[in-house]
Structure 1
Amino acid sequence: MASGLTHEQAEALVQSHDPEHPANLICDLCRDFYKLGWVTGTGGGISIRKGEHVYLAPSGVQKERIKPEHIFVLPFAQSSLPKPGSQRDFLRIPSKEGLKESACTPLFWNAFTMRNAGACIHTHSQHAVMLTLLLPREADSFKISHQEMIKGVRLGGVGKTLRFFDTLEVPIIENTADEEDLTEGMAAAMEKFPDAPAILVRRHGVYVWGNTWEQAKTQAECLDYLFEIAVKMLLAKLPLVGDN
Structure 2
Amino acid sequence: MTADTIELALEGAGAALAAESARFAAFGWMRGTSGNLSVVVSRDPLRLAVTASGHDKGELTPADVVLIDGQGAVVLGGRPSAEAALHARVAALTGAGAVVHVHTVASVAMGHRSPDGIVFRDLEMLKGIGQPAHDVEVTLPVIANSQDMTELGDRLEAAYNPQIPAVVVAGHGLYVWGETPRQARHHTEVVEWLLELELSGR
- With the shorter chain as reference, the TM-score category is 0.7 to 0.9
What SS does the aligned partner of 2:20 have? helix
1:146 equivalent in alignment to 2:122: yes
Which of 183, 189, 204 is 2:159 aligned to?
189
Note if contact 1:129-1:203 (Cα within 8 Å) is conserved in structure 2. yes
Aligned equivalents of 1:39 and 1:151: distance in 2?
25
1:58 equivalent in alignment to 2:52: yes
Note if contact 1:57-1:70 (Cα within 8 Å) is conserved in structure 2. yes
**Root-mean-square deviation (CA), in Å?**
2.2
What SS does the aligned partner of 2:29 have? coil
Aligned to 1:156: none
| Cα pair distance change 1:10/1:163, threshold 3 Å | closer
What SS does the aligned partner of 1:199 have? strand
Aligned to 1:43: 34
User: How much has 1:133 moved relative to structure 2?
Assistant: 2.1
Residue-pair matches, total: 197
What SS does the aligned partner of 1:164 have? coil
The range that moved more, 106-115 or 117-126, is 106-115
The two structures have a TM-score, normalised by structure 2, of 0.87
Alignment of 1:102-121 (within 5 A): 102-121=81-100
Q: Deviations over 1:26-62 (max 9, x none)?
A: 0011111101111112111110113444211012221
Q: Which runs of 5+ in 2 are unaligned?
A: none
Which of 143, 147, 153 is 1:173 aligned to?
143
Identity of counterpart residues, as a percentage? 24
Pair member with larger Rg: 1
Q: Following superposition, which runs of at least 4 residues in structure 1 exceed 4 angstroms of deviation?
A: 8-13
| Cα pair distance change 1:179/1:58, threshold 3 Å | farther
**Paired letter, 2:15:** N
